Structure 1
């Protein structure tokens, strides 16, 4: 265990004053009186108060310094308070703070240039949105208008946003209370750890077999739904909220081939995995494919100002070259967001953050998580790439039974979170998983410290298994 564990979690008197802490208490009281939180039963919620942040660290309402192993909702790719991004926002506010989207502003023009430079050469235009959900909504709208078709195929074990169409595109359980006939058809994606396609009689099951069966299922879904009715296939390049699992070799290429065969638009959701999170600028670069549409948000400017976008290839663009695109947003290409994006992309390039994320995954995070898998009875699987990893907790390694049924969160997860915070780390928890997603520029020693804490508190999950056995 890192010898700094106890001091790292203590109050930071040099940075956080008693007045800061008192102001935080006031903010908390007002929050509970007036703020309605997302995805929560309001009166059961006890939100953590964050009163300061810098780099890979945050300070809670009591002034304790905590390692941010979540990048918030996995978006502070360049860390908190990066000076170049902050300065760009300040300069833009003084120059042109806001402008209607029908007018040219130089920050938006430069952001579009930088983003399209990172994408395949036939993707040359970007429609800017306020976030990832509306980016996915507009991507589907474009695909429907481009093809003249309505249906959209999306995967179970996915997340595409909380607005009406986006939550219907989503495959995780949060969709269920919002289910509606939105023209969405869902299919089962490949998942090598807990396959939907592996026969009970199969003693061995290879990634190649998973790819073959999953693609056959996708083809069947397309054919049975009527290819002439299917406008788009939307996939997360690497599913994030659903468990950070990379598709097996050949699957994405096969999905691309099916889209080509049936004239279906391939939309890749890079909202969470894009802009360096996976150790490449975009996660689809891990596969030999070129999407028709890429959606993004979050990491493009480290979340400093709300922003998202739809990057489209020339064929999609051509559909609206001479006819109106029936969509828009008041804050599309907002100058403050665009300036933050330009500064973030340049800082990530200049400071080799994407390369650092790849190195952290290969040399620091991945090997240590494999050790945890070998040493903890509760750890069934570890998987990921770059600064984008998941630890899956199970009741039984042999059967791969999760600690709680799909869609439920086992009680021990709250204990794991509390123990991590007490030792100076904020973890990301989803169902029976711990996600390891630090900022891309987190120092090696800080990452090791966070992994030390995770390693130690996993004993709580091991105890649950021991008692049950």
Structure 2
């Protein structure tokens, strides 16, 4: 028997990225910490963090209290005014960025953060083109979906968005026939340089990269790659945009994933984990040079809810809670001591696992039909593994032939151990 909630959803809700008649959404009634409960009363370990955003888990009391207090005092205000929550959130976020990035433009989420970062880069340089990697996802709005590299771009790509794609490094499925990380890095940088030269450096406003590609497969870049991209941008006068929407705010075991790679971008985009997704919020952290372009010339863009008080109050509380509770260091420890070793152990045990990769609480398990061929596990077989995880009480994030294990940054050690056991059982059905 279906519930009224389910019936109303099926009658009236149009879901993202879905064939509407073919989906069967789970009705979630409660969530706390690393767990959610469905309407039948079944509990699940949420190792998806929903869409990889509940970095402090569900219902963190400090963030909930901040939203309640802000709503009682100043629930909303137009963006042309100054407000305490917005000002403090901007100060805290800029303080986490590298030196020389001191301004924050707030958006409603990650896609519009990337839209505005690209607009800023084009206006700052006076150039039209943007370079982006094929294995990437930057959002679903018009510019963001066109800089996205994965096939979700295709239905919206008319070839008129001023975007040129290139291959980034990914040694497991190397486009460059590399056998070492050093070769992959060197050849990927050579490929990018030739792309810049062939397109004409004077036509290129920006290179946009996810610091660690997320939905496309959680592929930490090899050492030296991001500094190499920075050097190319400096050589040719190109703006470097690092998309930290998914990897930022503790997810990669650092405040920003870029902290792991000794690189300073010109623009940083963020969203998701900045306030654990409790109220929609995104933004762009802007270098002093680019901010200076708009010191006496109006920036031609804005949003009605830019820096919304409820969202920015939640961001302040999230950053303060993460600081006080040592959440970022905990995420790094979880990846190093529990998730990484545990997933590599499962890879040694199950032939269906072709590769395991990640940092912090940001891990991918790539499923293959054969380790020698690296042929991706077919969609139906991957769906069976996902279904087995759910029957065991585990919600992973799944895409293509991969499972992404992306729990909250403050997930308990015993929950990680339990999740690994559930995944072990689900993989045993394919081994």
Please report the TM-score for the alignment, with normalisation by the length of structure 2: 0.99
Whether 1:81 and 2:55 are equivalent positions in the alignment is no
Q: How does 1:287-306 map onto structure 2 within 5 Å?
A: 287-306=261-280
Residue of structure 2 equivalent to 1:61: 39
**Of 457, 461, 465, which aligns to 2:426?**
457
Q: How does 1:132-143 map onto structure 2 within 5 Å?
A: 132-143=110-121
The answer to whether the 8 Å contact 1:412/1:460 transfers is no
Q: How does 1:251-290 map onto structure 2 within 5 Å?
A: 251-290=225-264
Unpaired segments ≥5 residues, structure 1: 1-21, 200-204, 405-409, 463-469
Residue of structure 2 equivalent to 1:197: 176
Whether 1:385 and 2:368 are equivalent positions in the alignment is no
CA deviations 1:270-300 (Å, max 9, x no partner) are 0000000000000011111100000000000
Unpaired segments ≥5 residues, structure 2: none
Distance in 1, matches of 2:373 and 2:260, equals 30
**Of 410, 413, 416, which aligns to 1:447?**
416
Residue of structure 1 equivalent to 2:319: 345
Give, in angstroms, the shift of residue 460 of structure 1.
2.7
CA deviations 1:153-193 (Å, max 9, x no partner) are 00001000000000001011111111121000000111011
Residue of structure 2 equivalent to 1:108: 86
**Of 103, 112, 124, which aligns to 2:102?**
124
Q: Which structure has the larger Rg over C-alpha atoms?
A: 1
Describe the SS at the equivalent of 1:329: coil
Distance in 1, matches of 2:396 and 2:221, equals 25
Residue of structure 2 equivalent to 1:8: none
The answer to whether the 8 Å contact 1:128/1:308 transfers is yes
Distance in 1, matches of 2:15 and 2:139, equals 16
Distance in 2, matches of 1:223 and 1:419, equals 49
The answer to whether the 8 Å contact 1:137/1:166 transfers is yes
The answer to whether the 8 Å contact 1:150/1:231 transfers is yes
Residue of structure 2 equivalent to 1:44: 22
Give, in angstroms, the shift of residue 455 of structure 1.
1.0
Residue of structure 1 equivalent to 2:68: 90
Residue of structure 2 equivalent to 1:225: 199
Give, in angstroms, the shift of residue 399 of structure 1.
2.3
Give, in angstroms, the shift of residue 413 of structure 1.
2.0
CA deviations 1:339-358 (Å, max 9, x no partner) are 00000000001111111100
The answer to whether the 8 Å contact 2:367/2:382 transfers is no
Residue of structure 1 equivalent to 2:286: 312
Residue of structure 1 equivalent to 2:187: 213
Residue of structure 2 equivalent to 1:407: none
> What is the Cα-based RMSD across aligned positions, in Å?
1.0
